[in-house]
């Protein structure tokens, strides 16, 4: 009997916080730094008589995120009431677009196990409101067993986009690449900061296994993954767990499981799945998006990272790897392109940004937005090095001085005592004359022919180079000294 093999079938649901100043159905601030329960109003508290009103910026951000995932904007979408009882849900129902979303039918590409590109279909992105945040006094931070629970309604009504993939993912590696690619693309589109540390991006995974004997295990939904690493580990764990059950002839239960990051395991959700039903939200008319609006938002869409990287490779001859590093973050790529626009050679500019700028940012833990040196200024430096006015080493010294002292190029050059274009001609001859004058015994040794191996000549060259602070060309120095000692 042939050994059984298993193919994981994985779909991912990703919630992203859409980037707006105000909540989805009221004008309360979305500032995550605010004191608990200060960004609240009758609407997001679900007070009797209050009514939601749709924030159109949320719709635009949802459309941008959707377009970034190659989705199509739907001319008509609806909102529903998704009911369940929980203290974090002010109205007892969540307003969500559920199955009639604003954008649908997209895809993102990932690499499969053989390294080939593979499309992961995106079923849709739908808009919905976030629930309040709860803090429980129980040691495990969960509601059961807690003597006291606190609710922060600042989060209630924060705008979310839920992105639902088709079950096209076959491994944890593909899942992580899908999620990272998605994060990069929605960030590019300006739709979400998708900051995992701030809870702006959360993952649920549906995992099932297809067995080579024709059996197909039931779908298990795994929740509570808040990092790429957790997503990867949870899927790995779930694949192993299900495989073991199927190999022993067992049945996979269709259930929701909770990822415990500390223990590295999934366990059945202790909170019973709430009974859910949907009715059309009667307080919100259908969301109609006309072509004009679609055109406006499409025009707001920036070039996506993969397209941009291809352009760097094809038009500017950048190595693929450098192009990908630069385009990982839109702001960094924008910075690089601004350097090019200011006159820097693309390959050189790319090298500078990749090595020097990223080094400083990493050292300082900065984002490109906090980097003080304007791209035009960096471009000026790159051009001077290119033109040979500064050596590469000098250029780096100047760069470091500029960064450290927030100085201009000229000030840095001056402060570092650099002679642009290097020390040559009369200036070099003057230095050589004074060096020889200061070392008559060495000169005597050379002239007497005792310096057979040229060691003394090298010694003089070294002294001269030192005097010029390395700003003379070694070949020139050697020739000039040879001439001077004759």
Partner 1 sequence: MELYELNLHDAISGLKDKKFSASELFASCKARIDALEPNVRAFITRTDSTPQPCENPEGLLAGIPTVLKDNLCTTGIRTTAASKILGGWRPPYDATAWKYLRESGAILMGKVNMDEFAMGNTCGNSAFGPTHNPNDISRVPGGSSGGSAAAVSAGYVPFSLGSDTGGSIRQPASFCGVYGLKPTYGMVSRYGLISYGSSLDQIGPFARTVRDLQLVMSVLAQYDPMDSSCFREKNPDFTHREDVSLKGKRVALVKEFQSFTLDAPIAEAMKKTRKVLEDEGAIITEVSLPVVAKYAVACYYALAMSEAHTNLERYDGVRLGYTVTDAAGVKEMFEEVRSYGFGSEVKSRIIAGTCLTEPSRCDEYYVAATKVRTLIAQEFARAFGETDFILQPVTPSLPHKIGEEDDDAMKGYETDLYTLPVNLAGLPGLSFFTGYALGQPSLTPPNLGGEQGGNPSAQRGLPVGLQLIGPRWSDPELLNAGVILERNLGTPKIANGGID
Interacting residues with partner 1 (CB under 8 A): 42, 45-54, 81, 83, 85-87, 90-93, 143-144, 149, 151, 276-280, 282-285
Q: Read out DSSP for 397-420?
A: HHHHHHHHHT--HHHHHHHTT--T
Report in angstroms how near the CB of residue 219 gets to partner 1 at its nearest. 17
Report in angstroms how near the CB of residue 154 gets to partner 1 at its nearest. 14
Tell me the CA distances in angstroms from 90 to 33, 41, 151, one per residue in order. 21, 11, 10
C-alpha 202/C-alpha 186 separation (Å) is 14
**Complex with partner 1: residue 132 or 340, whichever CB lies closer:** 132
**Complex with partner 1: residue 278 or 293, whichever CB lies closer:** 278
Q: What are the phi and psi torsion angles at 203 (to 5°)? A: -115, 140
Q: 41, 116, 48, 38: which is closest to 283 by C-alpha?
A: 48
Q: Which residues does 156 contact at the CB level (< 8 Å), separation at least 6?
A: 40, 44, 45, 46, 88, 89, 90, 129, 130, 131, 132
C-alpha 237/C-alpha 419 separation (Å) is 62
Report in angstroms how near the CB of residue 276 gets to partner 1 at its nearest. 8
**Complex with partner 1: residue 83 or 419, whichever CB lies closer:** 83
Report in angstroms how near the CB of residue 54 gets to partner 1 at its nearest. 7
β-bridge pairing 220-225 and 255-260: parallel
**Complex with partner 1: residue 247 or 271, whichever CB lies closer:** 271
Report in angstroms how near the CB of residue 252 gets to partner 1 at its nearest. 23
Query: How many residues are present in the chain?
Result: 486
CB 151 within 8 A of CB 40: no
CB 67 within 8 A of CB 161: no
Encoding tokens for residue 25?
A: 């159905």
- Name the helix (H) or strand (E) containing 267: strand 265-268
**Complex with partner 1: residue 283 or 420, whichever CB lies closer:** 283
Report in angstroms how near the CB of residue 147 gets to partner 1 at its nearest. 11
Classify residue 472 by its DSSP letter. Answer: S
Report in angstroms how near the CB of residue 139 gets to partner 1 at its nearest. 17
**Complex with partner 1: residue 87 or 250, whichever CB lies closer:** 87
**Complex with partner 1: residue 272 or 453, whichever CB lies closer:** 272
Q: Which residues does 431 contact at the CB level (< 8 Å), separation at least 6?
A: 423, 464, 467, 468
**Complex with partner 1: residue 56 or 229, whichever CB lies closer:** 56
Report in angstroms how near the CB of residue 96 gets to partner 1 at its nearest. 13
**Complex with partner 1: residue 285 or 343, whichever CB lies closer:** 285
Report in angstroms how near the CB of residue 150 gets to partner 1 at its nearest. 11
Return the exposure string of 160-191: e unless at least 16 CB atoms fall within 10 Å of the residue's CB, then b. bbbbbbebbbbbbbbbbbbbbbbbbbbbbbbb
């Amino acid at each position: 009997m042939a050994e059984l093999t298993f193919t994981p079938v994985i779909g991912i649901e990703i919630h992203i916080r859409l980037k707006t100043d105000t909540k989805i159905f009221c004008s309360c601030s979305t500032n995550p730094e605010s004191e608990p329960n200060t960004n609240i109003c009758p609407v997001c508290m679900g007070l009797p008589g209050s009514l939601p009103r749709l924030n159109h910026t949320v719709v635009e951000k949802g459309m941008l995120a959707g377009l970034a995932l190659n989705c199509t904007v739907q001319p008509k979408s609806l909102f529903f009431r998704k009911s369940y009882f929980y203290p974090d849900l002010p109205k007892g129902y969540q307003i969500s677009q559920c199955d009639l979303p604003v954008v649908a039918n997209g895809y993102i590409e990932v690499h499969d196990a053989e390294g080939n590109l593979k499309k992961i279909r995106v079923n849709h992105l739908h808009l919905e409101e976030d629930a309040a945040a709860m803090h429980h006094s129980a040691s495990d931070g969960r509601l059961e067993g807690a003597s006291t629970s606190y609710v922060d309604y600042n989060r209630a009504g924060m705008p979310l986009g839920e992105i639902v993939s088709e079950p096209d993912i076959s491994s944890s590696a593909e899942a992580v690449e899908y999620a990272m690619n998605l994060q990069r693309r929605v960030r590019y589109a300006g739709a979400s900061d998708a900051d995992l540390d701030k809870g702006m991006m959360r993952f649920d995974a549906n995992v099932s296994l297809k067995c080579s004997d024709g059996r197909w295990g039931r779908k298990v939904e795994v929740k509570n993954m808040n990092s790429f690493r957790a997503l990867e580990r949870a899927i790995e764990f779930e694949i192993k767990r299900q495989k073991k059950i199927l190999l022993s002839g067992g049945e996979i239960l269709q259930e929701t499981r909770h990822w415990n990051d500390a223990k590295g395991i999934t366990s059945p959700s202790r909170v019973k799945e709430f009974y859910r039903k949907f009715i059309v939200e009667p307080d919100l008319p259908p969301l109609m998006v006309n072509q004009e609006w679609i055109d406006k938002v499409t025009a707001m869409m920036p070039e996506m990272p993969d397209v941009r990287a291809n352009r760097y490779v094809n038009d500017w001859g950048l190595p693929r790897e450098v192009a990908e590093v630069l385009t990982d973050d839109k702001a960094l790529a924008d910075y690089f392109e601004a350097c090019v626009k200011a006159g820097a050679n693309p390959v050189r500019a790319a090298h500078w940004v990749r090595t020097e700028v990223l080094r400083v940012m990493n050292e300082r833990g900065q984002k490109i937005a906090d980097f003080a040196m304007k791209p035009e200024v960096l471009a000026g430096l790159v051009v001077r090095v290119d033109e040979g006015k500064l050596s590469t080493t000098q250029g780096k010294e100047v760069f470091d001085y500029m960064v450290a002292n927030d100085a201009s190029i000229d000030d840095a050059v001056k402060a570092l005592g650099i002679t642009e274009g290097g020390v040559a001609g009369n200036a070099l001859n003057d230095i050589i004359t004074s060096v020889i004058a200061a070392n008559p015994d060495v000169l005597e040794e050379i002239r007497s022919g005792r310096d057979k191996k040229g060691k003394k000549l090298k010694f003089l060259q070294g002294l001269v180079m030192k005097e010029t602070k390395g700003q003379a060309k070694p070949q020139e120095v050697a020739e000039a000294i040879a001439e001077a000692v004759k």
